[in-house]
């Protein structure tokens, strides 16, 4: 971390945010003593500006906004290596989930948009069809991310191999899924769920 | 359910991938269970488990989707057999969390408008084969041992992590896949990347991530002298098989490879670096092949990195 001093200020300090992360994840950030095992084992740390142990350190110092402004949380693969290896039982994978949810709900300031777009389309697919319709997922991602040529050669190959279905029928019981989405929205409106 | 006394029988949650991009996993699972005379009945009208994208941004949604699927599974008799490592992980995580956290369970019960059914054992195909059917009986049932086939057993992330959830094997040094391979007559290789992440669902949003991580896995398997890789997850299969040519195009230059960097030209002795195609097999494809199931009914035609030359070479076709 040469020449990378961490500038802290009271203005960016937000302890309420840290408490929310702890409540959502069910894991304390204060137990971390910065051994760095999580970052050592993280397959994605090379893609992150704040490796996992620094994400926790920033939370300990109340600097949640610095984490949300970056890409790190969206480059976590949820491989659970950090949670598995933490000697202090900090559930870092759950903390990452909590951070993403808070960023997502606030329509986050993060620069990473492709991962968020893929997540949104994936969840929309569940609500519309009940199961994943992979061809639509890929096509919609290319259209909405403006990468019209992405994996262009792969699509026809996968269709000819039977790996992508052209047509997809909805679940018969699709109304039950809509019910789940609606009831979760209602609970959140009433403040009964995070 | 002791094998030999009563016919084993399971309810079955295939998951979205097994009906599309991972169809050969579904085909070979059904063929294998039929060959072993183990019952397998699909849960009717199951939904997507939400996989990684749902729990990434909305834990309550993820838990609710899985709880809904668990209650649908109650309609079919037998423990719930799951083939996809991601679905397996999500369903087990849901049971684990909701049993521990009453307030979350109550929220989920409101969301699914019914009680959460958390007591049906959820089992991965690997543990059904190795523990419930049993390695000894499996070994007896082998008709065509996979002799001379060197296999890199790839666990990936979700079969063993986090340690409290999957209850499948040790979270850092598992052996269930290697044990299974030995029972089938194959030779598991020792290699470095069997527990590393392949890049999973970044295949849609950031394929560059997949190319980098999956390249390291393929390199490591080649370096260990493996002929092929065995997986138990349709996402790992997709990344290692479908993107294999792309990975070679991106990282094929001699000195950009992981082990090329470490050992340099010493390793290659001045000759061309190891660029072999590595066929990626599902555990059920290899097991069914060893049970003498006709190769035509194992979905090999759907795979991108053609496994047939290798199988012919080892006289397994």
State how far Cα B185 lies from the chain centre.
20
The predicted pLDDT at position B5 comes to 65
State in words which class domain B9-123 has.
Answer: mainly alpha
Nearest-neighbour CA in chain B from A8: distance (Å): 28
* Inside any domain, residue A4: no
Between CA B195 and CA A144 the distance in angstroms is: 34
Q: Does A136 touch chain B (CB under 8 A)?
A: no
Residue A88 within any structural domain of the chain:
yes
Residue A55 located in a structural domain: yes
Report d(CA A83, CA A87) in Å as an integer.
9
CATH 3.40.50.11810 fits domain B145-313: yes
Same-domain check for residues A76 and A127: no
Q: Region A152-157: what's the mean pLDDT? A: 89
Domain closes at, from A69, A86, A105: A105
B109 touches chain A (CB under 8 A): no
Pick the last residue of a domain from A43, A75, A105. A105
* Domain chopping of chain B, boundaries: 9-123, 145-313
Q: Looking at residues A98-118, what average pLDDT do you find?
A: 87
- Do A144 and A183 sit in the same domain of this protein? yes
Amino acid A169: pLDDT: 86
**Is the Cα dihedral A71, A79, B25, B303 positive or negative?**
positive
| Contact call for A118 and B163, based on CB within 8 A | no
* Domain identity same for A118 and A138: yes
Rounded CA-CA distance A86/B20 in Å is 37
Residue that is last in its domain, among A105, A140, A172: A105
User: For every one of its 317 residues, what pLDDT tens digit does chain B have, with 9 covering 90 and above?
Assistant: 554 568 999 999 999 999 999 999 999 999 999 999 999 999 999 999 999 999 999 999 999 999 999 999 999 999 999 999 999 999 999 999 999 999 999 999 999 999 999 999 999 999 999 999 999 999 999 999 999 999 999 999 999 999 999 999 999 999 999 999 999 999 999 999 999 999 988 999 999 999 999 999 999 999 999 999 999 999 999 999 999 999 999 998 555 455 655 554 455 455 567 889 999 999 999 999 999 999 999 999 999 999 999 999 999 98
Residues 57 to 116 of A: which have CB under 8 A from any B CB? 75, 77-81, 83-84, 91, 93, 97-98, 100-101, 104, 114-116
The crossing angle, in degrees rounded to 10, of helices B59-73 and B102-112 is 70
ipTM of the complex: 0.93
B-interface mutation test, from A118, A142, A166, most B Cβ less than 10 A away: A118
Q: Say if A153 falls within a structural domain.
A: yes
Q: CB distance from A137 to chain B under 8 Å?
A: yes
Contact B162 A93 (CB under 8 A): yes
Please give the full DSSP string across A20-47, using - where no structure is assigned.
HHHHHHT--STT-----HHHHH-TTGGG
Residues A80 and A125 grouped into a single domain? no
**Is residue A5 included in any domain, yes or no?**
no
B306, B278 in Cβ contact below 8 A? no
Q: pLDDT at position B265, please? A: 47
Measured between beta carbons, which residues in chain B are less than 8 angstroms from residue A158? 21, 242
Cβ(A142)–Cβ(A148) below 8 Å: yes
- The CA-atom distances, in angstroms, between B157 and each of A122, B8, B148, B164 are 21, 28, 28, 14
Q: Show residues of chain B in contact with A192, CB under 8 Å.
A: 107, 110
Helix axes B258-268, B207-223, angle to 10 degrees: 30
**Judged by CB atoms within 8 Å, which residues 51-70 of B form the interface with A?**
51-61, 64-65, 68
Name the residue among B50, B55, B196 with its Cβ closest to that of A126.
B50
Contact A81 B21 (CB under 8 A): no
Q: Decide if B16 and A97 are in contact by the 8 Å CB cutoff.
A: no
pLDDT at position B59: 96
A86 and A127 housed in the same domain: no
CA B74, CA B121: separation in Å to the nearest integer? 11
Q: Is residue A1 part of a domain?
A: no
Q: Which residue has the higher pLDDT, A10 or B71?
A: B71
Residue B274: per-residue pLDDT: 81
Laid out side by side, the sheet with B280-282 consists of B187-188, B150-153, B228-231, B280-282
Domain identity same for A123 and A99: no
pLDDT of residue B254: 52
**Total structural domains in chain A?**
2
Closest residue, chain B, to A46 (C-alpha): B209
Provide the pLDDT confidence category of residue A47 given band limits of 50, 70 and 90: very high
- Let me know whether A84 and A63 are in one domain: yes
Q: Range of A158's domain? A: 114-189
Does any domain span residue A2? no
Same domain, A133 and A158: yes
Q: Residue A97 falls within a domain, yes or no?
A: yes
The per-residue pLDDT for A9 is 73
A118 reaches B (C-beta below 8 A): yes
Distance CA A92, CA B21 (A): 31
What the block records as the tokens of A123 is 């969840």
**B57–A81 C-beta distance less than 8 A:** no
Judged by CB atoms closer than 8 Å, whether chains meet at A184 and B200 is answered as no
């Amino acid at each position: 971390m040469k020449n990378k001093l961490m500038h802290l200020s009271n203005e960016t300090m937000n302890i309420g945010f840290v408490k929310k992360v702890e409540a959502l994840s069910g894991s304390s950030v204060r137990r971390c003593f910065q051994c760095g095992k999580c970052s050592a084992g993280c397959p994605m740390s090379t893609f992150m500006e704040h490796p996992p142990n620094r994400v926790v350190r920033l939370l300990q110092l109340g600097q949640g906004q610095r984490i949300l402004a970056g890409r790190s949380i969206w480059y976590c693969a949820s491989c659970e290596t950090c949670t598995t290896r933490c000697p202090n039982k900090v559930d870092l994978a759950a903390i990452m989930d909590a951070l993403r949810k808070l960023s997502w709900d606030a329509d986050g300031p993060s620069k990473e948009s492709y991962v968020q777009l893929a997540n949104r389309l994936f969840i929309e697919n569940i609500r519309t069809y009940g199961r994943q319709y992979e061809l639509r997922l890929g096509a919609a991602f290319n259209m909405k991310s403006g990468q019209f040529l992405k994996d262009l050669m792969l699509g026809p190959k996968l269709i000819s191999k039977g790996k992508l279905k052209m047509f997809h029928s909805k679940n018969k019981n699709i109304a039950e899924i809509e019910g789940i989405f609606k009831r979760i929205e209602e609970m959140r409106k009433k403040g009964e769920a995070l | 359910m002791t094998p030999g006394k009563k016919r084993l029988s399971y309810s079955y949650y295939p998951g979205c991938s097994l009906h599309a991009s991972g169809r050969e996993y579904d085909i070979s699972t059904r063929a294998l269970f039929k060959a072993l005379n183990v019952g397998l009945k699909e849960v009717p009208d199951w939904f997507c488990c939400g996989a990684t994208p749902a729990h990434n941004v909305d834990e309550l949604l993820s838990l609710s989707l899985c709880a809904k699927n668990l209650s649908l599974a109650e309609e079919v008799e037998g423990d719930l057999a799951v083939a996809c490592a991601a679905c397996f992980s999500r369903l087990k995580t849901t049971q684990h969390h909701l049993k521990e956290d009453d307030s979350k369970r109550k929220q989920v019960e409101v969301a699914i408008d019914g009680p959460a059914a958390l007591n049906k054992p959820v089992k991965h195909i690997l543990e059904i084969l190795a523990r419930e059917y049993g390695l000894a009986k499996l070994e007896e049932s082998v008709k065509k041992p996979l002799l001379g086939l060197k296999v890199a057993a790839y666990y990936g992330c979700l079969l063993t992590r986090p340690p409290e959830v999957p209850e499948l094997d040790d979270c850092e040094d598992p052996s269930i896949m290697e044990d299974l391979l030995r029972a089938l007559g194959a030779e598991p290789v020792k290699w470095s990347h069997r527990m590393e992440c392949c890049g999973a669902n970044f295949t849609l949003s950031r394929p560059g991530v997949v190319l980098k991580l999956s390249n390291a896995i393929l390199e490591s398997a080649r370096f260990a002298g493996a002929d092929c890789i065995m997986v138990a997850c349709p996402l790992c299969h997709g990344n290692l098989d479908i993107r294999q040519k792309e990975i070679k195009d991106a990282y094929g230059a001699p000195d950009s490879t992981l082990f090329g960097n470490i050992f340099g030209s010493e390793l290659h002795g001045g000759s061309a670096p190891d660029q072999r195609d590595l066929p990626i097999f599902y555990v059920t494809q290899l097991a069914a092949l060893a049970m003498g199931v006709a190769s035509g009914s194992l979905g090999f035609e759907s795979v991108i990195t053609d496994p047939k030359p290798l199988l012919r070479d080892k006289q397994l076709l």
